[in-house]
Amino acid sequence: MSASAVFILDVKGKVFCEYFKELEEESIRDNFVIVYELLDELMDFGFPQTTDSKILQEYITQQSNKLETGKSRVPPTVTNAVSWRSEGIKYKKNEVFIDVIESVNLLVNANGSVLLSEIVGTIKLKVFLSGMPELRLGLNDRVLFELTGLSGSKNKSVELEDVKFHQCVRLSRFDNDRTISFIPPDGDFELMSYRLSTQVKPLIWIESVIEKFSHSRVEIMVKAKGQFKKQSVANGVEISVPVPSDADSPRFKTSVGSAKYVPERNVVIWSIKSFPGGKEYLMRAHFGLPSVEKEEVEGRPPIGVKFEIPYFTVSGIQVRYMKIIEKSGYQALPWVRYITQSGDYQLRTS
Amino acid sequence: MPYLGSEDVVKELKKALCNPHIQADRLRYRNVIQRVIRYMTQGLDMSGVFMEMVKASATVDIVQKKLVYLYMCTYAPLKPDLALLAINTLCKDCSDPNPMVRGLALRSMCSLRMPGVQEYIQQPILNGLRDKASYVRRVAVLGCAKMHNLHGDSEVDGALVNELYSLLRDQDPIVVVNCLRSLEEILKQEGGVVINKPIAHHLLNRMSKLDQWGQAEVLNFLLRYQPRSEEELFDILNLLDSFLKSSSPGVVMGATKLFLILAKMFPHVQTDVLVRVKGPLLAACSSESRELCFVALCHVRQILHSLPGHFSSHYKKFFCSYSEPHYIKLQKVEVLCELVNDEDVQQVLEELRGYCTDVSADFAQAAIFAIGGIARTYTDQCVQILTELLGLRQEHITTVVVQTFRDLVWLCPQCTEAVCQALPGCEENIQDSEGKQALIWLLGVHGERIPNAPYVLEDFVENVKSETFPAVKMELLTALLRLFLSRPAECQDMLGRLLYYCIEEEKDMAVRDRGLFYYRLLLVGIDEVKRILCSPKSDPTLGLLEDPAERPVNSWASDFNTLVPVYGKAHWATISKCQGAERCDPELPKTSSFAASGPLIPEENKERVQELPDSGALMLVPNRQLTADYFEKTWLSLKVAHQQVLPWRGEFHPDTLQMALQVVNIQTIAMSRAGSRPWKAYLSAQDDTGCLFLTELLLEPGNSEMQISVKQNEARTETLNSFISVLETVIGTIEEIKS
């Protein structure tokens, strides 16, 4: 049970996060009543009970000064057979928002060879649907295409690895005919995650020269190149370049965007608001170094990159359809959004 | 726990709690209660306002109720008499129309840890088990376990156990899982909850409805079930197949373990399962939760012991990232070592070489040792990397490289030449004992190939007075003598000086003895010295011995998804033993009225045994006759405290044994007929402190030994040991008479 034991601690942290936004000493201190209440419901006699924060939120309300009457009703989920959705939910407008988010993990060696490149994809849903709807999601999954004979035609398909689903998805049906069918929880949740380890060209490529002249100065030259389609634009690009902790008097020159020295993290952050594909930009930085060298040796932190490319997925995954069926027969609208973002994106420096 | 300054606060809060104006204003009332809880959390003794808090529990505000109940559970053990007053309120809440309140009250009541609470909670728990709200049933089911725990030694309530077994069919998934948890706790002494075929199949069918914790736990319980046929086994595996893909790592691991155990007769199924969990395991290895990541890495190593190369194609996943904590990096390096094969060796070595210059000395050294491990297979590449590392002239690197060289030369003699060429110059960058020993050993054994060996050793001889480590001096003596044999001219003089120093001035006995030993050896003659000191310089076969053979999956399947892979088998055994001892501690006698150590019965002699009571150790009370019924009841309720096997040959007359036992005040309750097989006898005895010893003697057919099991109604090791030696003596004597 070792994996479970470790995992519950992690989950507890997450539940607290959903209640307090941020989990830190301060927030626990301020909300100790809720913490006690939560712990009481999460665990009994050392056994995990209800850990789903959505259900917890139904009976531990955050407005603790909201007075309750003596005959307050029990949230139906407490007694429900489908533990993740309450009965009797109603919305005026029935909508589903689908976010397909792919984050790119990259590790590049100091000599420029890619050590590790993988894509971790998640499909997140925001559900505003009345009643007990039955949803079916269609993707351009290669295995499904082969099953149905769609492959070979002009349809592009994607091979998903290591697919994991939310508890609500009927796994047996997915195993049989790759159909993703489920009764969704209300509100936000992560429907599925997958992984692709096919090698892709790094979306933002960095070349750097960091020259350290002991006792006098450090000179940094960073070249960033967008290696994705010209139509796409990466937003909020942040490239953090490590500098020695005793560096001083920074000076920057950038072809685009702005650079900032963050002494508490010992990095220079070069931010570019929008970075179109195929473009190449340059930043130079100059730091002074004290003439007395300090004792302890420093590590060689990597260069980190953050970015977000909307309307684009690296894997090419697409939502082909989303069918929503409910007894009352209402019409519901699915909205789809695609985003590619940086995950653990690191380039080692020499 | 008196806490400085708490009196004033208690007084003030007491006043506020009694104030009718505050009581009338709900918000203010709750605020005062919150303050009480806040102080309680900070460690102030708030037990002074117990009465006032009990009154505050009579409210419709559920949050206030929760806080008051929390307070009660904390202070009930301190104020048991006052807490009894609270029980009334709690009992009333147990029949509240709101199920949340019912559940809360029942849960709190079961958590009051005070003597005598059992009689009050029994009825509410029984009512709770039949409540129509599943929330209350969940609480009530666990309440059964809490109640049993409060009793401690209480007998198992058969009716309750049956009720819990029937609740396994409850429609609420959490109630089902809680039933299992509760039964497991109650039936701990009998080996836990029984999973028979109907229960197993029922659980399997309910699996998909459970939450992830429930699934993980049920998978663990299912390990106890042994399918009747191969067909059933594969049906179960098919049913559970989808859980290998669960998004919860706990469930994936639990399912994997169940597969491994159930399919222990089908190695190909086991391998197949391990291939399928590769993905989830790798995902856990790069999880955001560091702890999870660590646990997963430990399991990866476990799997690699049986299936080397299992993760080879994914070796890059085990490359360390800059920001990872130490413990993960070290695990990853270990994994990388085991993954090396012809295709990836270049990349892995390059990666490891990068780690060797890490700022953290520990991590750098671990990486160097890892390269040393790989060098046993890929010698040339590794020796080249290690040699380059020497060029950095950093102390912590050089010392580890030299140690690696020493081990390597012993196992892989083909690299001797390269190592000898790399060594000159190292001595300047070695300060620690381990490194010096390794260097001196190399210079001694392979000195004839290292031109400057005598001069390096000479430096050590010069500074031997300031050398702090005796081990280094001993190594120096041996090395210099060896070098003297191959290069006498250069070494004779300093060998003389070193021996003189060691014999005349050295204070460490071991070093002095070694010096004297070599001196006398030299007196015997140089040929004799050569014969003794010039042993083989390498032993490649040792490497084969050191490499653990591939272990079958079944050897660790039962440890999978436990803490064993995390701690290591041996370490975990010690930890769990320590924990067991701690748990037993309170049961040890508080006032041991006798010194029970020392040999009790030195000879096999009945007369001596009779004298025993006078010696004041174990005092068995004569004529203490138990009824057979009482014996049976007590026997069944106790655990075996001691079990032992004595040699036993041939036939004997039971009456002789009975008489012999009578002499030492051990009564015979029942005994099989003479000559019957299996032959059994039940004995009882009681000592002067009232401690009962119940014993079963068993002779299996065809076995030439007698099995003795002793149970004790109080756990006392000393008296138990004395009792057993008495028993042994008697049986030994009978055996002697017979033969």
Residue-by-residue DSSP string for B379-418: HHHHHHHHHHHHTT--HHHHHHHHHHHHHHHHH-GGGHHH
Is the pLDDT at A188 greater than 50? The verdict is yes
Structure tokens at B417: 């030449």
Indicate the pLDDT class of residue A32, thresholds 50, 70 and 90.
Answer: confident
Strands A134-139 and A319-325: antiparallel
pLDDT digits (tens, 9 = 90+) for B82-128: 888 788 888 888 888 888 889 989 998 888 887 778 888 888 999 99
Among B364, B373, B375, B350, which Cα is nearest to B399's?
Answer: B364
In a 3-state reduction of DSSP, which class is residue B425?
coil
Comparing A12-21, A51-60, A213-222, A297-306, the range with the smallest average pLDDT is A12-21
Which helix or strand (DSSP H or E) is residue B464 part of?
none
**CB contact B575 to A (< 8 Å):** no
> Which residues are paired to A219 by β-bridges?
A211, A286
Give the rounded distance of the alpha carbon of A157 from its chain centre: 23
Question: Where do the domains of chain B lie?
Answer: 443-539, 620-737
In percent, the amount of chain B with pLDDT more than 90 equals 24
Cβ-nearest to B280 among A40, A47, A162: A162
Least confident of A225-229, B75-79, B183-187: B75-79
Q: Which residue in B210, B245, B314 has the most chain A C-beta atoms within 10 A of its own C-beta, making it the best mutation to test that interface?
A: B245
Interface touch B27/A65, C-beta < 8 Å: yes
- Give a three-class secondary structure readout of A11-78: HHHHHHHHHHCCCCHHHHHHCHHHHHHHHHHHEECCEECCCCHHHHHHHCCCCCCCCCCCCCCCCHHH
Yes or no: say if B215 and B251 are a contact pair by the CB < 8 Å rule. Answer: yes
Which helix (H) or strand (E) segment holds residue A137: the answer is strand A134-139
In this prediction, residue B605 carries a pLDDT of: 41
* Nearest CA distance, A127 vs chain B (angstrom): 20
Neighbours of B410 (CB within 10 A): 18
Which are the contacts of B325, defined by CB distance < 8 A and separation ≥ 6?
A: B290
Q: Å from B359 to nearest chain A CA?
A: 5
**Residue in A9, A105, A167 nearest the CB of B291:** A9
Residue B593: band (very low, low, confident or very high) from pLDDT cuts 50, 70, 90: very low
Nearest-neighbour CA in chain B from A337: distance (Å) = 23
Name the one residue in this structure whose structure tokens are 């953090």: A240
Write down the mean pLDDT value for chain A.
Answer: 82
Task: For residue B79, give the nearest of B103, B56, B43, B53 by alpha carbon.
Answer: B53
Interacting residues of B145 by C-beta distance below 8 A, sequence separation 6+: A45, B181, B182, B185, B186
A65: number of Cβ within 10 Å: 10
Map tokens 């376990």 to a residue. B145
Q: Which residues, in sequence order, are bridge partners of residue A116?
A: A107
Any chain A CB within 8 A of the CB of B171? Answer: yes
**The token pair that represents A226 in the structure block:** 């967008």
B128 touches chain A (CB under 8 A): no
**pLDDT of B718 over the 50 cut:** yes
- Nearest chain B residue to A115 by CA distance is B316
Helix (H) or strand (E) holding B53: helix B50-56
Question: In a mutagenesis test of the B interface, which of A35, A41, A47 is the best target, namely the one with the most B β-carbons within 10 Å?
Answer: A47
Tokens of A36: 């006690």
pLDDT tens-place string over residues A113-164:
888 888 999 999 999 999 889 999 988 887 777 777 765 555 677 888 888 8
Strand order in the sheet with A134-139: A180-182, A134-139, A319-325
Asked if pLDDT for residue B281 goes beyond 70, the answer is yes
A301 and B322 within 8 Å at the Cβ level: the answer is: yes
Which residue in A261, A165, A168 sits closest to A220, CA to CA?
A: A261
CATH, domain range B620-737: 3.30.310.10
Q: Which residues make Cβ contacts (< 8 Å) with residue B387, sequence separation at least 6?
A: B418, B421, B422
Give residue B476's pLDDT. 93
Q: What gap in Å lies between CA B396 and CA A31, rounded to an integer?
A: 49
With CA atoms as reference, report the closest residue to B332 among B544, B322, B342.
B322
Q: Closest approach of chain B CAs to the CA of A285, in angstroms?
A: 23
From chain B residues 270-289, the ones with a CB under 8 A of any chain A CB are 279-280, 282-284, 286, 289
The label of the residue with tokens 């001219």 reads: B489
Q: Is the pLDDT of residue B707 over 50?
A: yes
d(CA B390, CA B395): 9
Q: Edge to edge, what strands does the sheet with A280-288 contain?
A: A204-213, A217-226, A280-288, A248-254
CA distance B280 to B293: 11
pLDDT at A152: 54
Average pLDDT, chain B: 83
Side-by-side strand order, sheet with A161-165: A161-165, A187-196, A114-128, A95-108, A333-347, A303-310, A233-242, A267-276, A258-262
Residue among A319, A340, A270 at smallest CA distance from A106: A340
pLDDT of the residue at B610: 41
Pairing between β-strand A333-347 and β-strand A95-108 as defined by DSSP bridges = parallel
pLDDT at B615 over 60: no
A290 cis-preceded (ω within 30 degrees of 0): no
Q: Which residues of B touch A193 (CB under 8 A)?
A: 247
Strand, helix or coil at A241? strand
User: Would you say residue B245 has pLDDT above 60?
Assistant: yes
Instruction: End-to-end CA distance of chain A: give it in Å, rounded.
Output: 42
pLDDT of residue B583: 52
CA A248 to chain centre: 35
The predicted structure's pLDDT at residue A96 = 93
**Touching check for B172 and chain A: CB below 8 Å?**
yes
Q: How confident is the model at residue B383 (pLDDT cuts 50, 70, 90)?
A: very high
pLDDT tens for B295-317 read: 899 999 989 888 887 888 888 88
Helix %, strand %, coil % of chain B (to 5): 65, 5, 30
| Span B397-414, average pLDDT | 91
**B563 contacts in chain A (CB < 8 Å):** 2
Of B63, B133, B138, the CB nearest to A49: B138
User: Does the pLDDT at position B591 exceed 50?
Assistant: no
- Which of the residue ranges A227-236, B422-431, B597-606 would you say has the lowest mean pLDDT? B597-606
Residue A306 reports pLDDT greater than 70: yes
- Torsion, Cα of A170, A174, A180, A181 (10° steps): -40
B472, pLDDT greater than 90: yes
Cα(B608)–Cα(B606) distance, integer angstroms: 5
pLDDT tens, A266-294? 999 999 999 999 999 999 999 998 888 77
pLDDT band at B533 (very low <50, low <70, confident <90, very high): confident
Compare CB distances from A74 to B98, B173, B212 and report the shortest one's residue: B98
Determine, for residues B247 and A167 on separate chains, whether the beta-carbon distance falls below 8 Å.
yes
Cβ separation A33–B67 shorter than 8 A: yes
Tokens of B461: 């001889």
In b/e form, how buried is each residue of A259-269, taking b as 16+ CB within 10 angstroms?
bebeeeebbbb
Q: What is the mean pLDDT of residues B134-139?
A: 90
Q: Cβ–Cβ of A1/B107 closer than 8 Å?
A: no
Three-class DSSP category at B420: helix
Of the pLDDT bands very low, low, confident and very high (cuts 50, 70, 90), residue B1 is: very low
Run of H or E residues at A301: none
Higher pLDDT residue, B608 or A36? A36
pLDDT of residue B511: 93
Helix (H, G, I), strand (E, B) or coil at A100: strand
CA atoms within 13 A on the CB side of B125: 25
8 Å CB contact of B34 and A33 = yes
Nearest-angstrom CA–CA distance, B386 and B372 = 8
User: Which residues, listed in sequence order, are joined to residue A252 by a DSSP beta bridge?
Assistant: A285
Output the CA angle B4-B6-B8, nearest 5 degrees. 120
Looking at the partner chain, which of B97, B173, B286 has a beta carbon nearest the beta carbon of A83?
Answer: B173
Share of chain B above pLDDT 70, in %: 91
Which residues are registered as beta bridge partners of A217? A213, A288
B171/A81 Cβ within 8 A: yes
